[in-house]
Amino acid sequence: MSYSYYERLSALDTTFLDTEDQFANAYMHVGSVSLFDAAPLRNADGATDMDKVRRLVEAGLHRVPRYQQKLARTPAFGNPVWVDDDRFNLLYHIRHVSLPKPGSERQLKRLAGRIMSQRLDRGKPLWELWVVDGIEGDRVALISKAHHCMIDGVGSVELSTALIGARQDIEERMSHPRAFQIRPAPSPRDLFLDELNRRITQAFSTVQTVGGALWNPVGALRSLRNSLGTAGAGLGAALSSASPTPLNDEVGPHRRFDWLDMSLDEIRAVKARLGGTINDVVLTVASGALGRFLHDRGVRVEQLDFRAMLPVNVRSGDERDKLGNRVSSMMAALPLAERDPVKRFQLVMQTTARLKKSGQAAGIQMMEELGDSNMGGLLSILSRLYAMQRPFNVVITNVPGPQFQLYFLGSPLGATYPLVPLFHNQTVGIALFSYNGMLFWGFNADWDALPDLHELVEGVAKEFARLKDAAANEPAANVHTVTSPRAKSTPAGRRRSQRTG
């Protein structure tokens, strides 16, 4: 007997749909461009074996059921839910294109930008996988794209293992495929009654909580004070505006994508000399490059309160396979005006240490949890305020990946460049992914606002070279206090890049 099935979206997942609905050009999908050797992927005719690619994807879909689910809405209430797609067609989601040989990386970046400039179809499962042939160096690319309401950065790593893994895992998966069983969607009546029952239950729970507080007013006041303090730290960060900059115009409909990679060993050598973390190195390099980029465009960076929004993974150990978003965030003031790379590193390190103690991430997580309870509209309201207030200038997200070789149908994964979406008043976003001894940077930008995106990417490479050289002349773990100026606050980036403009 087959029973109906559905899943509610969390309040945070729903905000990504709401953001896309409210702002026409804010496409809320994450993505990546991954590069592989072409030879192992060819069939007997010398072409990429697309039948084998489809069989591999099909064999892995049972591990990620969200890839065969689509959105539905509860009658009257309008809450989004996931239901299995009874008309799922794998051929729609897997696309095959070729660049004119020899396709350059510049052409691949242009193609990736064009693909990321198109919204996903809400009537189907919210993902696409593009196989791109004809890339110079005898390579094939996979361009992946999935809506942010499905996954966050860490979740995307888990999802990628459905297609890419150790060589023996892929062979085992192909030899023992498992079919995904489509479960019928509930009737509109059942969806309505379930949602009504959920709201009544939550209201009753609230009454019980209030009753308990009346019996223990001292404990309740203490708990309320602690909760308000935690939530206040998150609200304070979310509702104060960062400085306006040329990077914070209204985003347009077209995207450009660029990338860069660095050696993790070289990054670790820098932090070994200066202390701190890999993230501190990333923020120091990004601060230097963004500061120089804005300065060269006539911006007085010493007067800016320039902030980066740093997503924070809040998945527990038993939530590794949970889809959707399990993420909070922190707002970090970046010292754009500090030109000395070592002093800038020390300022960044002080900022990140302070943020970890501030309760910002916990406060924002608390607001997300409130949105999932009996205050379902709270997060939607806050997200609109968030957009109007512009509490950050740029998103910088760093996702750790596996430090061993992965394969796709026997072809080794050589590089993978991640993409973070742009909000409506944010024209550039920076995503990083560490894999197999390398740190891969992906730069997503508005096409019209940043025709010179390549200069920012080149600036990141130059700033890492400067930091690396400066760190080599410092005693190991030379950490000391530096007073910040007015500013509020990666081999020198082995650059696999040509100009995207």
Q: Are 394 and 249 in contact (CB under 8 A)?
A: no
pLDDT average, residue stretch 368-377: 49
Question: CATH 3.30.559.10 region(s) of the chain?
Answer: 7-175
Statement: residue 372 has pLDDT above 50: no
Predicted local distance difference test score (pLDDT) of residue 487: 37
Lowest mean pLDDT among 112-121, 182-191, 409-418, 488-497: 488-497
pLDDT > 70 fraction of the chain, expressed in percent and rounded: 72
Task: Supply the CATH classification number for the domain 7-175.
Answer: 3.30.559.10
Cβ density class 116-147: b for 16+ within 10 Å, e for less: bbeebeeebbbbbbbbbbbbeeebbbbbbbbb
Mean pLDDT is lowest, of 205-209, 431-435, 470-474, for 205-209
Q: What is the pLDDT of residue 328?
A: 60
**Mean pLDDT, range 233-257, rounded to an integer:** 83
**Structure confidence at residue 315 as a pLDDT band (50, 70, 90):** very low
> What's the per-residue H, E or C state across 354-394?
HHHHHCHHHHHHHHHHHHHCCCCCHHHHHHHHHHHHCCCCE
- Give residue-wise pLDDT tens across range 472-488: 988 765 544 444 443 33
Least confident of 4-18, 228-242, 385-399, 400-414: 228-242
Determine what percent of the chain is predicted with pLDDT higher than 90. 56
Q: Which fold has domain 238-472?
A: Chloramphenicol Acetyltransferase (3.30.559)
Which tens digit of pLDDT belongs to each residue from 17-31? 988 998 989 999 999
Closest CA to 119 of 488, 461, 421: 421
Round to whole Å and give the CA distance between 359 and 402: 29
pLDDT(215) > 50: yes
CB 358 within 8 A of CB 254: no
Residue 428 has pLDDT above 60, yes or no: yes
| Listed range (29-38, 171-180, 370-379, 424-433) with the worst mean pLDDT | 370-379
Distance CA 418, CA 210 (A): 46
The pLDDT, as a whole number, for residue 323 is 54
| Better pLDDT: 68 or 170 | 68
Q: What is the mean pLDDT of residues 127-143?
A: 95
pTM equals: 0.84
Q: What is the predicted pLDDT for the residue at 116? A: 97
* 490 pLDDT higher than 50: no
Judged against a pLDDT cut of 60, whether residue 219 lies above it is answered with no
Helix (H) / strand (E) element for 400: namely: strand 394-400
pLDDT score at 90: 94
Task: Say which residue, 253 or 150, is predicted with more confidence.
Answer: 253
What per-residue confidence (pLDDT) applies to 331? 87
| pLDDT for position 494 | 44
The answer to whether 293 touches 459, Cβ cutoff 8 Å, is yes
Query: In this predicted structure, which of 23-37, 61-75, 125-139, 217-231 has the lowest mean pLDDT?
Result: 217-231
Say whether pLDDT at 396 is over 70: yes
Lowest-pLDDT choice from 38-42, 376-380, 462-466 = 376-380
DSSP count for the chain of H helices, then E strands = 14, 15
What's the CA gap between 490 and 50, in Å, rounded? Answer: 36
- pLDDT confidence band for 367 (50 / 70 / 90): very low
- Which residue type, as a one-letter code, is found at position 273? R
* Model confidence at 227: pLDDT above 50: no
Q: Which residue has the higher pLDDT, 65 or 178?
A: 65
Name the token pair of 478: 């030379």
Q: Which helix (H) or strand (E) holds 209?
A: helix 188-215
